[in-house]
Amino acid sequence: MTGLEAIPKISELLTRLIKLTKDRETGALVQQIQEHQLEIHTALVVADAKIRELEKQLAEAQAEQVRIHKGIEFRRGKRTNDKWIGFCPKCHMPAQDAWTRPRNDKIVVCTASCGWQVWMELKLDDIITELGA
């Protein structure tokens, strides 16, 4: 049971207690507790709505387009300055051009050295040009 679910139940129990008690001070005290519970419940509902709105805004701010092309994950959005940038499809870190030794073959590798690589004849910038706008 969550805090929001518990508050109405507590309020109901306190109401039953008021009916059972003959002491007016106890009844007044229980009513004060119920008023405070209502304030807390209202504050929790408002805070919950604010959290949901902030989560929605965060999701919109982090939204980005994702494409997989020639074995590379490309992303475009606010964090990439609205430009296509190559990323490792395995661990989602940025990708970069590299060359093998000793044959000097062209590859694209993960900058986090997770082991992902893809053989390419083109540079990463040339592949991004293929994606277009």
pLDDT tens digits, residue range 57-115? 998 888 899 999 989 999 999 889 999 999 999 999 999 999 877 777 889 999 999 99
Identify the domain boundary among 42, 61, 80. 61
Vertex 60: Cα angle to 56 and 61 (nearest 5) = 115
Backbone angles phi, psi at 68, to 5 degrees: -110, 125
Residue 33 sits in the same domain as residue 18: yes
Using one digit for the tens of pLDDT, what is the confidence trace for 24-50?
A: 777 777 788 888 888 888 889 999 999
Compute the distance between CA of residue 117 and CA of residue 94 in angstroms, rounded to an integer: 12
Identify the domain boundary among 43, 61, 79. 61
- Domain range for residue 96? 64-131
Q: Provide the number of structural domains found in the chain.
A: 2
Instruction: Specify the amino acid at residue 87.
Output: F
Q: Given this model, what pLDDT does residue 22 score?
A: 62
Residue 70 sits in the same domain as residue 126: yes
Residue 51 sits in the same domain as residue 90: no
Residue 68 sits in the same domain as residue 22: no
Helices and strands, counts by H and E, the chain: 3, 6
